Structure 1
């Protein structure tokens, strides 16, 4: 998910420059010892949205991470060390994210960053975070930059937007007979990643990319874009949109009597989309890298987790909570494997040794290696049916 910051580019540049100096100083000050690790605790940092446009992701993912930490700490922690999570509000704004990361790294002396929300926020923070020697584990974004270019301190858990779209197009062509492929995408870095995936997959399958249309993240009228795509005789529209701008164009097409298939990706995979009023998204296809559980079909383990979450926080867990639990559980697994004499190098070695890990929700099998820091490129295909996401296929990827 992405949104342009309300602060000026000049202000963001100034903050980033100041932070870069602080990050470098911190790295020098920490030479010769393991930052964020004592005999009794491991300090984990997180910058996320607690009060902005993506707060439903940020608040719930942070809460789920805390819940998992509380559970492991109640059992004595990891090799006798308690985990401590420090969460800072980035308000889904780049300058705020840089400020938050600067505090976490230099004042709070974190061992690693986990669950940081937002592609532009991670991209702004990462260069100096990595210079400071602070790993970035399982950021909540499906952008390829979270593991590419390869860096020993960057780990991403699941499939990217690019992976998902390519796999989704392949499935739709094979199973729905799609031949006239079009795309509607945000005129942002996020949207352009979707466009690149559509271009690459249609080229690989020797199919035409018939038409394209763009929108701004704040657009509310999609009549012109839908009319343009309809005139091109598309039979599949691939969407590089987020929550609201996935609902509106799909609903617009249906109101116009245009009933071709639409395919989204994990930025659309939110119950807000499936449950849109009046069944506005009924029939929409969406790719995602994980599974959103529903209580009546969930396993006893997941139901118990849902109950614990609601008892502690007073609301049902959403997809953000699923992300938070899954990433923290995987991190704890790696910390346990790293051993009592914890260092960054030993944690990286432990991560790279993980093969065949799977979360409690039935997500894809996750494996890493010395030259592989993306846990999985597999995705699941869902369709909105009667107000909920129903799995149609998965796991799938475009290479298989």
Structure 2
């Protein structure tokens, strides 16, 4: 059919409009311009978990600064905006609202705290913003499945189940008990103990609970000791892990194993004064590096971190570096014409990924957003976490 000049002009006009619409759509991707991509983080910079929050943010900035100085990703610099929630849920919601609606971030990464993330998720996902590598190992960070939720390492639940299985098989433990915080976090540990004892055709001999603020664990330890426990799973974080284990040893209860999870995987626990945590077992999702035994690559990173921030990196910095590297990997794979969907597809294409510290291999897919369930198993020996097994499954 022959096209008239008028029809041709209309077609050209329509094509121009479609082209402009496509260009406008590309430019309207939240948190993305030709010159930058904006990443947000709500975390604890001045509250009880600040040693984690500050070091995660610092390590990510150190990594992104290097990427930016090298020209960025497809010419885009990475801008990280960090908001302090002081480990308080209302402040986390307030901080996230700023990041989502004022800063219009492209990605939320390294947000700290289980209740904080859970409180923010509805508004965040309504805005279409992905959540990557939250600083909590709760199962709710990846389950139930959501297209915008991605967790990198194994969960508290994984750590306890794998640790119990290992100690029953290796140390021939028979009477399993648990001491856990009377919180949602602690209840997740209890569920892990219940599921693993059932899987091994065993029973829980005794349970005890504590409040996060408790400083005296005499009653709980006495209860568990009187029940004849020879293996105790801890739903503890940092302080209560130290206090409960130290109480048991001070009371002379030594013919028992205690196993905790990554909420206790902090050098503060390993180096507690007087060696009171010597022998404690901990399941975790990553590697605890030390400067004097580090590879040349890790040693160089360690020195650069200390030079910039004036202190040695802790486990939070390890998480932060690995997360930043994963983000850059996905941004690179997503290509120049960055959109949220292309970024999600890039994440889902990642397999066989391992951080420079030698942590577990991370694999994502279109149906699996939990990077790994592998557990690295440690024991505190002479003030350090020493890996004695892993990666473990249950």
State the TM-score, normalizing by the size of structure 2.
0.93
Q: Equivalents in 1 of 2:75, 2:28: separation in Å? A: 19
| 2:39 corresponds to | 44
Paired residues for 1:208-219 under 5 Å: 208-219=203-214
1:233-285 deviation per Cα after TM superposition (whole angstroms, max 9, x unaligned): 00100000110100011111111111111000001100000000000000000
* Aligned counterparts of 1:125 and 1:371: Cα–Cα separation in 2: 23
Q: Find the counterpart in structure 1 of residue 21 from structure 2.
A: none
Q: Which of residues 130, 141, 149 is equivalent to 1:154?
A: 149
Task: Quote the offset at 1:31 in angstroms.
Answer: 11
One of 368, 373, 379 as aligned partner of 1:372: 368
Residues in 2 aligned to 1:296 and 1:393: alpha-carbon distance in whole angstroms? 21
- Highest CA radius of gyration, 1 or 2? 2
| Conservation of the 8 A alpha-carbon contact between 2:26 and 2:337 | no
Separation in structure 1 between the aligned mates of residue 141 and residue 328 of structure 2, nearest angstrom:
20
Show the counterpart of 2:323: 327
Alignment of 1:75 with 2:70, yes or no, is yes
- Alpha-carbon separation, structure 2, partners of 1:31 and 1:347: 14
CA distance in 2, matches of 1:207, 1:83: 51
Contact 1:239-1:264 at 8 Å conserved across structures: yes
State which of 381, 389, 392 in structure 1 corresponds to 2:388: 392
Q: For the Cα contact (< 8 Å) 2:238–2:268, is it kept in 1?
A: yes
TM-superposed CA distance for 1:397, in Å, is: 1.5
Task: Quote the Cα distance in structure 2 between the aligned partners of 1:277 and 1:104.
Answer: 40
| Deviation sequence 1:365-392 (CA, Å, 0-9, x none) | 0000000001011011100000000001
Partner of 2:127: 132
**RMSD after superposition:** 1.0
1:300 matched to 2:296? The reply is: yes
Select the residue among 343, 348, 353 that pairs with 1:357. Answer: 353
Report the secondary structure of 1:384's partner residue: strand
Distance 1:79 1:151 in 2: 28
Q: Which residue of 1 aligns with 2:281?
A: 285
Contact between 1:164 and 1:397, CA under 8 Å: does it hold in 2?
Answer: no
Matched position secondary structure for 2:376? strand
TM-score, normalising length from structure 1?
0.91
Asked if the contact 1:163/1:197 (under 8 Å) is kept, the reply is: yes
In 2, Cα distance between equivalents of 1:149 and 1:385: 37
SS of 2:207's partner is: strand
Does the Cα contact within 8 Å between 1:58 and 1:117 map onto a contact in 2? Answer: yes
Aligned equivalents of 1:375, 1:315: Cα separation in 2: 30
The structural deviation recorded for 1:75 is: 1.0
Is residue 245 from structure 1 mapped to residue 240 from structure 2 by the alignment? yes
Deviation readout 1:135-176 (Å, 9 max, x if unpaired):
111100000000111110110001000011111111111111
Aligned to 1:121: 116
Q: Please, which runs of 5 or more residues in structure 2 have no aligned partner? A: 1-24
Say if 1:221 and 1:31 are closer, same or farther in 2 by CA, change over 3 A. Answer: farther
Query: CA offset at residue 32 of structure 1?
Result: 8.7
Partner Cα separation in structure 1 for residue 98 and residue 362 of structure 2 = 32
CA contact (8 A) 2:27 2:33 kept: no
The superposition leaves residues 333-378 of structure 1 with CA deviations (integer Å, 9 ceiling, x where unpaired) of 0110111110000011111110100001110000000000010110
Deviation at 1:196, TM superposition (A): 0.0
**Given that residues 32 and 106 in structure 2 are in contact (C-alpha distance below 8 angstroms), is that contact kept between their aligned partners in structure 1?**
yes
User: Does residue 275 of structure 1 match 2:259?
Assistant: no
What corresponds to 1:65 in structure 2?
Answer: 60
